[in-house]
Structure 1
């Protein structure tokens, strides 16, 4: 079964916003056995939308559309869909009542006629109630193709997908099973891994595919299986993973399964009843951010300090200025001192620290651009590792974050 995602909005095409909707929809559709054949981003233009709908209808079983459902004149999706289906707009009383209740509860200004127009929908559509906004979703069918239109606001779209769209697709279509197993590896590059597992990869069953997903400092190996018997798929993937561990078990640190390495660390900390804090310089709070974006992080993440300038490492974090003067701010000794101070200040069991020059020019210290030290404090010891990543600032920061997580995960495992 195939689906196509169409995102509508000039703001996507000019790079003003990033299309995160398609990534979310693709992932959720894949979970229920729906293949995304194509993702298309188009302008707020009537003919462009009409052409995209017609072309998609020839390729796939389901077309999911986001964007262009607001109350202003530039939001033309609903009117264009009406034209495509040779339909007319009618007022849906349930949607109107919902809009009126939202205004009464959350908005101080009176409801306007423009807002009430959100209750207009094509007469032949099935209305999908949007619990988080005023624009409803719309389900229409034409010549065995299902068209689903949703708002472009991410949290509104996600609510509709989970509560309305996915359950209806599951009831409407017969779908195969699609299983994924993503193996997390650290410390070995993509080409080196490919060379070591070449024979194993060549002998995978035809219904299992391997994808390499390299990132800054790590490589994910995703096994994807498709078929009608879920048990056979599960058993085969597990057997192949066991074989893989015999080859590169030394660089496998876990399995993703819809979770990031930060979530994996959080689970291990929670299981062990331990806590974590961070002291960041060159990573600027990104390690802390990677944890606190996950629900439940407060049970194990105690907090963090961004001590970016040298003086803040002394005044805020409490690093001994003599250590900085003796070894420089970008050093193994300062990284260890920062980790210990974070552990002490937050009363945590573990702590991560980063100090260095992310580049492209020299900072407070006098070290090569891309030189970064990462410190790890554990319940019993503290250590630091030195890395030289290069002179691309954004990549260096990303690599430092990933290496920090890798080091901590290694300690927890």
Structure 2
């Protein structure tokens, strides 16, 4: 791979120079703003871009670069042929090639280990190139990026890296560019402060769960399989119990073998009642039986969003309780396309808010931002680990904003969700 650093007055000039020298297949690896002159004072900022192109793509066809020419094969010398003994029609045994000796096992292990390390390194480079190419394609699809200051270009690239949807990333950057002066937009700290304001404007956090004086709050958790609904229910019950709320659990998950015993274990530890509902009518009756409770949390079976029959059955369970709150549970590490598929297909069931699980298992949080904006639903809770009851946090607008900002600009520890709004 051939790499080269370019400096130009603007990003557009830098891109033009890169295309002219390295061709259309060049990849931008890094961009930043630099100043020239003594101590960088009284000089116009320059854009510095590091670009690369596959070295093999630029080599002329023919012999390998730098390699010596192989000698042309020559016909056997007549003198040599004349002294070869004549054999007539006598058959001769075919010449036996020498048997290769196997390399010692230690050398083979070292060679295989080296090959494995080289393959792993190659795969890492390929993944990085794919990521950079994806970012470059997003950038090149937006002509307006050439008019932005380097900090705004850097912000746009970071948003794309965090898997913020392209149109939403462009909307954010365009809004910041229109709001800030040219001098202010060149200051990364000012850009970040302005970004935080716009992110808070787009994100919504749900109101906290509070006991109602007249009737219990019936809370449903719905979502696909494997997102951690049952464990999340135990965390919710424990945290509501800390506030002296009277909690009961009901499970409709009679399909998974371990579902009822798992929730029964949590109920025994938390000292809360557990009921089982096999049909929607059963669920209606269980709610009536638990009217003395502040919260009734209902565990539902995980359903594939592609199974319309199962979703219809789940819908009947949810609608059997007229007064309720329903949280759609989504794993933070899912791809954005999968998240969109989940919310679209589970949309046949009315839900009030999003509950994001497994936040600790991903380092990209743009999809959460996208999903909140796309669904126009608030985010209510986030789970950050498997420990019951600790690894759950109530979502706040400030906390969600910090989650994305820490991921965009880096943090010494894993992103945490601020509990204060």
| TM-score normalised over the length of structure 1 | 0.30
Higher strand share: 1
| TM-score normalised over the length of structure 2 | 0.29
Which one has a bigger Cα radius of gyration? Answer: 2
